[in-house]
Structure 1
Amino acid sequence: MVTEAQVIELIAKQLNIDPSKVKMESTFNELGADSLLTMELLVNFEAEYDIRISEEEAANFETVGDAVKFVMKNLE
Structure 2
Amino acid sequence: MNTVQEEVRSGLADIVNEIVGVPLDEVRPEQSFADDLDVDSLSMVEVVVAAEERFGLTIPDQAAAGMKTVGDAIGYIVANR
Task: Tell me the TM-score normalised to structure 1 length.
Answer: 0.83
1:12-67 per-position Cα deviation (integer Å, ceiling 9, x unaligned)? 33321111111211111120110110111001111111100111111110000001
Q: Percent identity?
A: 27
Bigger shift: residues 49-58 or 3-12: 3-12
- In the alignment, structure 1 residue 65 sits paired with structure 2 residue 65: no
Q: How many residues in Structure 1 have an aligned counterpart in Structure 2?
A: 75
Match of 1:10 among 15, 33, 53: 15
Which consecutive residues of structure 1, in runs of 5 or more, have no partner in the other structure?
none
RMSD value, Cα? 1.8
CA contact (8 A) 1:8 1:68 kept: no
Task: Tell me the TM-score normalised to structure 2 length.
Answer: 0.78
Task: State the distance in 1 between where 2:11 and 2:62 align.
Answer: 24
**1:6, CA displacement in angstroms?**
3.0
Which consecutive residues of structure 2, in runs of 5 or more, have no partner in the other structure?
none
Runs of 4+ in structure 1 over 4 Å off: none
